[in-house]
Amino acid sequence: MVDFDLRSANARLRASNPLIQCITNTVVQQFSANVLLAIGASPAMLDHEADSAQFTRISSGLLVNFGTATNQQFLAADAAIDAANDDSTPWVLDPVSIGAVDHRTTRIRRAADSSPTAIRGNASEIAALAGIGLGGRGVDSTDEVDAVIPGAVELARTTGAIVAVSGARDAIVAHIDGVDRVARIDGGHEFMPLVIGTGCSLGAVTAAYLDGATTTSARFEAVVAAHAHFKVAGQAAAAGAQGPGSYSVNFLDALHALTGEQLATARVEAGTVEGSQS
């Protein structure tokens, strides 16, 4: 049984105010920046190949998301990933739109083979990356979280990454000391997938929580804390929301207001993946 100290994870984040470099799609850049600011991190969206790696050297974490990648962004990501790995800076891969189109799928698979600290996507995307599904259409999840856990386990084993599957219920998978561990997190609200960027920005938040987590266990906890932060705030944001517009506003307020004590109330269920011990 794993016990997560979400309160300490949050305290560490707030104390370090990590600078997170986001090479991410233009649709969600504003929202992702506001989300990072709300949780106590600093965003920077530098994505030019001439200086992206130099910026990674002074960053505490990196997010790579090819949702609207240009040729320059692909080059910038290659350089930034190398710099992150060189410096042991945590970096998160969001495989958004994998499976739908070949060119992007090839680039995402190459990134997945470059030692990401964590991979975060919805069920369709994780399934496509694991080769157990056909991928979804854009950013909406069409498969179920539980159905992709075997694929997530396989990804965690082969890439060494913590693998997070986001959905109505999140599942975070880690391969630690030969054991496949999983944490399931409930919360959020039905309006959440109607706000663009609630998935993509979670990748940035995951990178922020990973700052300072050096063991696989600590990283597992950090990724769980990031997802729990969204689940608890996402539930609180429903109070008074009249639709996805006001929900989005409330969500930023709730992300910011959330205390370590409240984070510790997240509905997290941890265990090992049945039948997966090798």
Which segments are annotated as binding site for substrate? 45, 197
Query: Quick check: 47 binds a copy of itself (CB under 8 A)?
Result: yes
Q: Output the CA angle 149-116-87, nearest 5 degrees.
A: 155
Residue 267 is a binding residue for a copy of itself (CB under 8 A) = no
Using the rule CB under 8 A, is 256 a contact of a copy of itself? yes
If residue 173 lies in a helix (H) or strand (E), which one and from where to where? strand 169-176
Residues 104-163 within binding reach of a copy of itself (CB under 8 A): 104, 137-140
Please, are residues 278 and 24 in contact by the beta-carbon 8 Å criterion?
Answer: no
Give min distance, CB of 26 to a copy of itself, in A: 5
Residue 80 binds to a copy of itself (criterion: CB under 8 A): no
In 3-state terms, the chain is what percent helix, strand and coil (to 5)?
A: 45, 20, 35
Residue selected from 68, 217, 235, 272 as contacting a copy of itself according to rule CB under 8 A: 68
Cα separation of 2 and 76, whole Å? Answer: 37
Q: Coil, strand, or helix at residue 237?
A: coil
Q: How far is the CB of 113 from a copy of itself (least distance, A)?
A: 20
Q: Which stretch binds a copy of itself (CB under 8 A): 95-103, 120-128, 147-155, 164-172?
A: 95-103
- Given the complex with a copy of itself, which of 246 and 272 has the nearer CB atom? 246
According to the binding rule CB under 8 A, does residue 230 interact with a copy of itself? no
CA-CA distance, 208 to 204, in Å (whole number)? 6
Is 7:264 a contact under the CB 8 Å cutoff? yes
Spatial distance between the Cα atoms of 170 and 199, rounded to a whole number of angstroms: 11
Q: Does 238 bind a copy of itself (CB under 8 A)?
A: no
CA angle 107/108/111 to nearest 5° reads 90
Phi, psi at 234, each rounded to 5°: -65, -30
Shortest spacing between CB 225 and a copy of itself, in angstroms: 20
* 55 makes contact with a copy of itself (CB under 8 A): yes
Structure tokens at 195: 């706000």
Q: Pairing mode, if any, of strands 61-65 and 42-44? A: unpaired
- Give 45 or 132: the residue with its C-beta nearer to a copy of itself: 45
Number of residues this chain uses to bind a copy of itself (CB under 8 A): 60
Residue 136 or residue 153: which is nearer to a copy of itself going by CB? 136
State the residues that interact with a copy of itself by CB under 8 A. Answer: 19, 25-31, 33-34, 37-38, 42-48, 50-51, 54-55, 58, 67-72, 97, 100-104, 137-140, 193-197, 242-246, 248-257
